[in-house]
Amino acid sequence: MSSSQATTKMHIRSATIDDCELILGFIRELAVYEKLEHELVATPQILAKTLFGDKAYAEVLIGEYEGEPVAYALYFHSFSTFHGRPGIYLEDVYVQPAMRGKGMGKLIMSTLAHIALERGCARFEWSVLDWNAPSIAFYRSIGAEPMEGWTVQRVSGKALEELAASRGKED
Strand order in the sheet with 85-95: 10-14, 59-65, 68-80, 85-95, 123-126
Please confirm, yes or no, whether 139 is among the known catalytic residues. Answer: yes
Closest CA relative to residue 92, chosen from 131, 62, 53, 52: 62
CB atoms inside a 10 Å sphere around CB 84: 8
CB 27 within 8 A of CB 63: no
* Residue 103: DSSP 8-state: T
Catalytic residue among 72, 75, 94, 139: 139
> CA 114 to CA 63: how far, in whole Å?
15
Among all residues, which ones are annotated catalytic? 139
